[in-house]
Amino acid sequence: MPIWVAATLCAGLFQTWRTALQQRLRGQLSVNAAAVVRYLYGVPFGVLFVVLYLAIFGGSLSALSWTFLLFCVLGGFGQIIGTNLLIMSFGHRGFAVGTAYSKTEAVQAAFLALIFLGESFAPLAWAGIAVSVAGTLYLSLAGRVSSLRDVMTATVQPAALFGLGAGLAFALCAMAIRAATQTLEGPDATLRALETLVVINTLQTLMQGGWLLATERASIPHLFRTWRSSVQVGALSACGSACWFTGFAYAPVALVRAVGQVEILFTLLFSRFFLRERMKRSDIIGALIVVSGVVLVLLGR
């Protein structure tokens, strides 16, 4: 199995796990404070990953350039904006719709990468990207819309528009991260990805932490009072990001994001086996569509 595929599958698992744990913090922290937790507590783990990697595999860190830092700022800021837009979509009572349209990120990333990075794919890979996104949309909207007209109506709702905006921000974020890893001159792509992770998480802590300091200063003590839960969220966030960044370092953004749609399968499995919720027929059909799309992507890469 290619390194980027294994890394992407692990990224989906860690992200689902982190999201589940982060839900526990929502009752203790504000939205912005809960977001800062991911970065603040993720930085030490990112540094630990770099140290362990250097100790086991050897090598040396790359010299940082202003171009690299610019891409890191863009990538980190894009993720923050995307997360905030997604949360805004939920505020319009459109959790399913907002989530569904944010998952069009894979298609948006494919077109953006084609335009700005010159990344082209075989027709089979394009078909796989479309199928995997269609499966995700079906999973999110099945039972909530009954016709194409309902889908079109849902598309112009604020929740959908914010969701599409979130998908665009996440796609731009992924492109910036890939560009950042390619800017570094080191020969080891995995080490470049881990180095990029530490820099971006540090910048995100400064950016969103600075915003928190300016607008919600009273929330800052709570960041440290909830350290037991926050450390777990930070660790899983760092693990997930390390895997995403590694995937971007080895493969085109659109392919990584398309395979990353398996994240929704992990969500279904978590729901079934940990929360003991029954799976509906639409869940099984949607999961099979997503898997089919991922298979097509891998066959056509």
Question: What is the DSSP track for 160-211?
Answer: HHHHHHHHHHHHHHHHHHHHHHHHS--S-HHHHHHHHHHHHHHHHHHHHHHH
- Which of the residues in the chain have pLDDT under 50? 93
98 in Cβ contact with 92 (< 8 Å)? yes
Q: How far, in Å, are 35, 100, 261 from residue 299 at the CA level? A: 36, 25, 16
Residue 180 near residue 68 (C-beta atoms within 8 A): yes
d(CA 134, CA 89): 20
- pLDDT score, position 166: 84
- What pLDDT is attached to residue 139? 65
Q: Which residue has the tokens 């990538």?
A: 75
d(CA 40, CA 218): 17
pLDDT at position 201: 94
* Six token digits for residue 28: 């203790």
**Is-contact 75 171, C-beta < 8 A?**
no
CA distance 41 to 43: 6
Query: What integer pLDDT is reported at residue 270 of this predicted model?
Result: 64
Classify 55 as helix, strand or coil. helix
The pLDDT of residue 7 is: 92
Tell me what pLDDT residue 106 has: 75
- Is-contact 108 171, C-beta < 8 A? yes
Q: What integer pLDDT is reported at residue 23 of this predicted model?
A: 60
In this structure, are residues 133 and 259 in contact, taking their beta carbons and an 8 Å threshold?
Answer: no
Name 3's Cβ contacts closer than 8 Å, sequence gap at least 6. Answer: 190, 246, 250
Q: What are phi and psi of 277, to 5 degrees?
A: -90, 145
Match 């199928």 to its residue by tokens: 131
Q: Say what the pLDDT of residue 107 is.
A: 76
Q: Give 261's DSSP letter.
A: G
